[in-house]
Copies of this chain bind each other. A is one copy, B any other.
Amino acid sequence: MKGKKTIDTFSDYMNDEARVSPADRERINFEIALIGKMIEAREQRGMSQRELAEISGVKQPAIARLESMRTTPQIDTLFKVLHPLGYTIEIVPLRQVE
């Protein structure tokens, strides 16, 4: 067997064009990176989800769902969470190739 029946890693799955289109892969990687930065920002401030919920107005369960990528935030929600952490979102030109 060439690997069809083996249990794939996440990486294997993501790089299989038959299952994940290049566009989807880029979007998923984008989301992973974005959420990662959001979590980093909060932890760098030494802030708990509960504290952030308090000052951002976004409820703690919602923050938990975002950070565990169970939901995809709307841009206003993302802004509300990032702003008290000293960050915002910007539209930037795509870096080619990578």
Contact = CB atoms under 8 A, between A and B. Distances in A.
A78 B31 CA distance: 11
B91 A92 contact: no
A72 B75 contact: yes
How many copies of the chain does the oligomer comprise?
Answer: 2
Secondary structure at the A interface, as helix, strand, loop or mixed, is helix
**Listed residue (A41, A91, A94) with the most chain B CB atoms within 10 angstroms of its CB:** A91
User: Which of the four size classes fits the interface of chain A?
Assistant: 20 to 34
17 contacts: A27-B83, A30-B88, A30-B89, A31-B75, A37-B91, A41-B91, A72-B74, A72-B76, A73-B75, A74-B74, A74-B75, A75-B75, A83-B94, A86-B93, A88-B91, A89-B91, A89-B92
